[in-house]
Amino acid sequence: MKKAIIFVIIVVIAIVVLIANSDYILKKIYKIKYEEYVEKYSEEYSVDPYLIYAIIKAESNFNEGALSNKGATGLMQLMENTAKEVAENVVMEYESGITLYNPEKNIKLGIAYFANLKNIYKVDSVALAAYNAGSGNVNKWINENIIKADGSNIENIPFKETNTYVRKILKDYEMYKKLYEE
């Protein structure tokens, strides 16, 4: 009986500690890294940095050496051709096999790319779909009335991976704002 009471007390204390430290625990899951680059380039390209953290979390979980099976590279998982094009547009030197593994350059290119998509599509959810599936697919879905340009029926994205991706990032974006906005 005495052991059961001690066990219950320990469980209650553990629950109280977890509840008291829930933000601490959540901040370990929804971490912020590379803030000097994310903040700098988010401001430069007028993108919410918390959305960028959510993208990086989904794309690479902050692993600067990440390489997808499709060849997307680095923190923001950029494809080589896309990165080269963006680098040209932002007048930045680009070295194949090197630039995308550099955290600052990868973040700058990823944010510049996302900002361009946001300028085209105007809505975060639609820009995120384009970031994941490509503008060609998103334009097709809009033209065929599969999704609306205003993002109001984004749940209709026909690619399961992209549909899940957009939902995850928007959910994580809300969590980042809740945890870190002052």
Whether 8 is in a domain gets the answer: no
Identify the residue whose tokens are 């990440």: 66
DSSP 8-state code for residue 159: -
User: Which residues on adjacent β-strands are paired with residue 78?
Assistant: 73
Model pLDDT for residues 4-61, shown as the tens digit of each residue: 787 777 776 766 555 555 788 888 899 999 999 999 999 999 999 999 999 999 999 9
Whether 17 is in a domain gets the answer: no
Whether 118 is in a domain gets the answer: yes
N-term to C-term CA, the chain: 47
Strands, DSSP E only, in the chain? Answer: none
Distance CA 168, CA 156 (A): 15
Query: Which among 59, 85, 155, 182 is annotated as catalytic?
Result: 59
Whether 18 is in a domain gets the answer: no
* 155 catalytic per annotation: no
CATH number at residue 74: 1.10.530.10
Say how many domains are in the chain.
Answer: 1
Whether 91 is in a domain gets the answer: yes
Model pLDDT for residues 98-154, shown as the tens digit of each residue: 999 999 999 999 999 999 999 999 999 999 999 999 999 999 999 999 999 999 999
Task: Determine the structural domain holding residue 135 and report its residue range.
Answer: 31-180
Whether 10 is in a domain gets the answer: no
